[in-house]
Structure 1
Amino acid sequence: MTNHPLGDEIYTAYASGALSAPMRLLLDAQAAVNADVAQARDVVETMAGVLLEQETPASMMPDALATLFDVIDSEEAGLGEAGPARFDSRAGSERSRNAASKAGQAIEELLNLPDPVRDLALDQGGWSFAGPGVRNMTLLNEDGAKAELIRIEPGRGVPHHGHDCTEFTLVLTGGFSDGRASYGPGEVCMANPDTIHKPVADEGEVCIVLAVTDGPLAFTGALGWIQRALSR
């Protein structure tokens, strides 16, 4: 299998907080299923923390600390007499299960996804039709960047398409081939505007991927004609 690493630039942007929410989700999800990626992410974050500590502190106004505490007090007061909300993992899990059941989802599939993706997926209304044997579910949209789950039945494929953007596709379960290489769990397929491919899921297991794009896909053939007609 061939893996396409995200690259130092993306790791650095992650550590500095400059990465978009969809791309952060991609890196967090890959780290959850790939120990090497998790280690690389943690190292970069640690280095960023060390560099931040070495920076010369900016001067503060004399009353800056008191002002900060006033803001905190006002925020806590706005929460009401009950005080800050406490996270209850059991309650969250139950709500997630109920939401998935009402949406008619295959709960086991969703619950087996990496934590960062699973929580977002269970909050959505369900899968949408994206072609024979293909379903998708949008998780995040931010400043033109989009993160979505794509579920592909064994032997089925995403329509033949090119790209008006950069697309990163992380395999969460199963695997697929796109005519260039094969990808398995934890691996990322990267495509750019020069790439035209047709990802097809491997036989034997449903393939679920997390796809992050920074622009629209450009379909070819009949689907491309329909896409262009609808965009006029």
Structure 2
Amino acid sequence: MTAITHHISDAMLAAYAAGNLPTPFALVVASHVSLCAECRAALEAHQAVGGVMLEDSRSVRVSDTLRSGVLDMLDDPYSPEPVYERTGIYPGPIMQALKGKAPRWKSLGMGVRQSILSDGDEGSVRLLFIPPGQAVPEHSHSGLELTLVLQGSFSDETGYFGVGDVEIGDEALEHTPIAGAGDPCICLAATDAPLRFNAMIPRLLQPFFRI
């Protein structure tokens, strides 16, 4: 794997450590951190600071009813979800979202495919498969988009993104990502608002593809 040059911002790592990121973005951050030693170290630093703050915080007395309720929940039997490890190009967090199964790809046309992992009020997160040399239609953003490369590469107006790199796009970014030569580009992409396509056909198809 080539060196990772595009990282998660420090502010976003801090939000992830505090549990304040929407689920789609948290999945991208967790997946990137599993691949990137630099961001993993930064995240551990944020978590350590959070631990110190908890130790320094004052205790608060709770009611006997709340205490009994928590203890009752701890006594209840439960079946923990299985923990999935990295499989092929997919880090553990993605395999967890896939529940250990292979992605279910659906065609978007021109050889491009997607597998939606979640889609709700917080936003959506999906896997994208883009053949070598194929371009994604030119678009801008209504909100934030995080794109993590898992295989292959892509380039756009901002530069080159290889395996492990994350592109953080906001409302100021208008681009046309193009998959690099070699292996198909497979990405994990999370958004909190629909994309804004410039061409008519992508706009017409957008509701059906839930992009």
TM range (shorter): 0.7 to 0.9
Q: Which residue of 2 aligns with 1:85?
A: 79
Judging by fraction of residues, say which structure has more helix: 1
Q: Distance in 1 between the 2:4 and 2:88 partners?
A: 27
TM-score by length of 2: 0.84
Unaligned 5+ runs, structure 2: none
| Corresponding residue to 1:161 among 139, 157, 164 | 139
Q: Which residue of 1 aligns with 2:70?
A: 68
Q: Distance in 2 between the 1:13 and 1:229 partners?
A: 31
Q: Distance in 2 between the 1:3 and 1:173 partners?
A: 15
Partners of 1:151 and 1:208 within 8 A in 2: yes
Q: Which residue of 1 aligns with 2:173?
A: 195
Q: Which residue of 2 aligns with 1:98?
A: none
TM-score by length of 1: 0.77
| Corresponding residue to 2:204 among 207, 221, 226 | 226
Partners of 2:22 and 2:122 within 8 A in 1: no
Q: Between the two proteins, what is the percent identity of the paired residues?
A: 29
Q: 1:38 to 1:229 in 2, by over 3 A?
A: closer
Q: Which residue of 2 aligns with 1:183?
A: 161
Displacement after TM superposition at 1:153 (Å): 1.1
What is the RMSD computed on CA atoms of the aligned residues? 2.8
Q: Distance in 2 between the 1:62 and 1:162 partners?
A: 53
Partners of 1:172 and 1:207 within 8 A in 2: yes
Displacement after TM superposition at 1:228 (Å): 8.5
Displacement after TM superposition at 1:59 (Å): 1.4
Q: Distance in 1 between the 2:102 and 2:118 partners?
A: 10
Displacement after TM superposition at 1:85 (Å): 3.3
| Corresponding residue to 1:134 among 112, 115, 129 | 112
Q: Distance in 1 between the 2:60 and 2:172 partners?
A: 46
Q: Distance in 2 between the 1:159 and 1:142 partners?
A: 24
Q: Distance in 2 between the 1:87 and 1:218 partners?
A: 37
Q: Which residue of 2 aligns with 1:120?
A: 97
Q: Distance in 2 between the 1:26 and 1:3 partners?
A: 16
Partners of 2:6 and 2:161 within 8 A in 1: no
Count of residues in Structure 1 that have an aligned counterpart in Structure 2: 205
Displacement after TM superposition at 1:162 (Å): 1.5
Q: Distance in 2 between the 1:144 and 1:131 partners?
A: 27
